[in-house]
Amino acid sequence: MRKTVLSCVQLGKQGITDNFIFTLGEHFKNHNNVKICVLKSAGHERGKVKKYSEEILERLGEKYTARIIGFTISVKKWRKAMR
């Protein structure tokens, strides 16, 4: 099965929950990269977006890296541990 390049997920007012992390894991079964759009209801502050990114990476594992562009977090899955 060929993996597609990109998938998008929205992070809303409930923040990062167990269900959100499960959904990300499901997306990574079929995609290499996932974009997480942080909605206004989740908090449009750069500090919060950075904390969200750190928490997501902590809960996903060592095979993932993230990059923040504006209010979007791009998460990439690697074959080997990158952090």
Q: Where are the domains of the chain?
A: 4-77
Say if residue 22 is exposed, middle or buried (CB neighbours under 10 Å; 0-12, 13-18, 19+).
exposed
pLDDT digits (tens, 9 = 90+) for 56-82: 999 999 999 999 999 999 999 998 888
Q: What is the pLDDT of residue 49?
A: 96
Look at residue 83 and tell me whether its pLDDT is greater than 60: yes
How many alpha carbons fall within 13 Å on the CB side of residue 37? 7
Nearest C-alpha neighbor of 57 from the set 19, 16, 27: 16
Would you give the distance in Å from CA 61 to the centre of its chain? 12
pTM as predicted: 0.89
CATH superfamily of 4-77: YhbY-like (3.30.110.60)
48 pLDDT band (50/70/90 cuts)? Answer: very high
